Homo-oligomer: A and B are copies of this chain.
Amino acid sequence: MYSFTNDYSEGAHPRILQAIMEANLVQNTGYSLDTHTSHAISLIRQEIRCETADVHIIPGGTQTNLIAISAALKPYQAVISASTGHINVHETGAIEATGHKVLAMDTPDGKLTPQLVRQALECHTDEHMVQPKMVYISNSTEVGTQYSKAELEALSHLCRLEGLWLFMDGARMGAALTSPVNDLTLADIARLTDLFYIGGTKNGALFGEALVILHEDLKPDFRFLIKQRGAMLAKGWLLGIQFEELFRDNLFYEMAGHANAMAETIRTALTDLGYAFASDSRTNQLFPIFSDDMIRELREHITFEMNRRIDETHCCIRLVTSWATTQEGVEELLRFVRAWPRPVPGTSTAP
């Protein structure tokens, strides 16, 4: 059965595997001190238009989040996140396990705003409460939305004014940057944040997230933190090779663009058929609202994740496309949907 469960169901782009095979018997220096990694870092620095950035390629996203956040915060400091933020719900308390509170703010669309950040600041006034010191945002977000340049500039402005670190989780950075409604570049993000990462795992690498550190204060001794958290891969060149390929000839954008295009096909078809979505996503995660009957039947044709109940007879599901999603897979899904009775207008509206 074709899977729309997530964007990490397949391995890596063949070019990436090919590069790994070619380097296989060459003796490399361990722990990311190899030439592939240096080259990947210089490609990334070029792409973000910042020659002074520190870049560390780390195997996984939860690792990257917990290392970046615990590196930047003092023991009594906290990180502000949307309540839907990955660090708040889907990392088994990894941030708290490093000793820090996540201050979760409810949002309508998975995005933090200056107003929400200010609200978090205002209710933390003295030493009996944690001190908010970092703003964590995901781009694209966990509900498929994304930040515009204006939104990111506003957040960045507030963070600098208030002395807050601005950290962008880019596990799905590719999807955000190749969305039809995007107006941000990696160079903008490097200019507006203090640190962020570029996700490989969910965009056609075997694994690997490139953490980019912009602010000088966050750079020293960072490799100690990576090692201590168990995230320094012995054969670190495997990470370097993958990011060399991702940032050579735009492979990174091509793969994300493909995932988005596949999602856009599905989104357009569902919209045309009258279906509503629980989230206004133009990236590779879609949250259509279907009736329980329809969902039950759909399970016989494709695999996907439940998201949440909308009303007594409807739920929202999550459909995820990837760099590897095939036209055939999409067709299979759409064939089913087109054959199913159209929704009665007004019955399946997003909240």
Chain A residues with a Cβ under 8 A of chain B: 2-3, 5-6, 8-12, 14, 17, 20-21, 23-31, 59-67, 70-71, 74-76, 78, 89-94, 96-102, 104, 127-131, 201-202, 206-207, 221, 223-235, 238, 324
Contacts and interface: CB of A to CB of B under 8 A. Distances in A.
A8 B24 CA distance: 11
B99 A97 contact: yes
B227 A128 contact: yes
Copies in the complex: 4
A10 B238 CA distance: 10
A46 to B, nearest CB: 26
A201 B59 CA distance: 14
A13 to B, nearest CB: 9
Given A17-B20, A96-B101, A230-B62, A11 B235 contact: yes
A233 B9 contact: no
Contacts of A104: 104
Contacts of A233: 59-60, 207
B207 A238 contact: yes
Nearest to A70: B75
Contacts of A12: 24
